[in-house]
């Protein structure tokens, strides 16, 4: 059971995790990892359309926040989601915003006709 009100140290952890999620590139990375199950930096670089250095930096932020994990296998490092509840949170938030986006986009397109 969750203690309410949240203790200050828990609030700090929660804020740190949400800060890690508050970047468009990191959202794209999470989306790609969720779709693939796991991915290398090279694969993610292609999906996100950024440099390997930039992708690695963002993955480091996600890793430090406990959102993704890195597993080395030979010359490659594979990234995957640590806690599936993060995927559920992303699905919930992104799904509701996608519905709003489609609704607004449809309304704007309708006024241009």
| CATH code for the domain in which residue 38 is found | 1.10.10.10
Please give the model's pTM, rounded to 2 decimal places: 0.82
**Does 113 score more than 60 pLDDT?**
no
User: Residue 107 domain-assigned?
Assistant: no
User: Residue 94 domain-assigned?
Assistant: no
Q: What is the pLDDT of residue 27?
A: 93
CA dihedral 61, 66, 67, 70 (to 10 degrees): 80
pLDDT mean across residues, the chain: 89
User: Residue 93 domain-assigned?
Assistant: no
What's the domain range around 78? 8-82
β-bridge mates for residue 77, sequence order = 72
User: Residue 103 domain-assigned?
Assistant: no
Q: Is the peptide bond before 5 cis (omega within 30 degrees of 0)?
A: yes
User: Residue 97 domain-assigned?
Assistant: no
| Range of weakest confidence among 14-23, 33-42, 50-59, 104-113 | 104-113
User: Residue 109 domain-assigned?
Assistant: no
> What is the percent of the chain where pLDDT is above 70?
95
Q: What is the pLDDT of residue 110?
A: 66
Q: How many domains does the chain have?
A: 1
86: pLDDT confidence band, cut at 50, 70 and 90? confident
User: Residue 2 domain-assigned?
Assistant: no
Q: What is the pLDDT of residue 111?
A: 63
| Residue ranges in 1-113 assigned as alpha helix (H) | 8-21, 24-36, 41-48, 52-64, 84-111
């Amino acid at each position: 059971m969750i203690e309410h009100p949240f203790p200050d140290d828990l609030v700090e952890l929660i804020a740190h995790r949400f800060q890690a999620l508050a970047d468009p590139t990191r959202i794209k990375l999470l989306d790609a990892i969720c779709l693939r199950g796991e991915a290398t930096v090279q694969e993610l670089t292609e999906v996100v359309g950024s440099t390997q250095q930039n992708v690695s930096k963002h993955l480091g932020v996600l890793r430090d926040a406990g959102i993704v994990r890195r597993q080395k296998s030979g010359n490659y490092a594979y990234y995957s989601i640590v806690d599936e509840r993060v995927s559920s949170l992303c699905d919930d938030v992104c799904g509701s915003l996608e519905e709003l986006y489609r609704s607004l986009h449809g309304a704007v397109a309708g006024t241009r006709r």
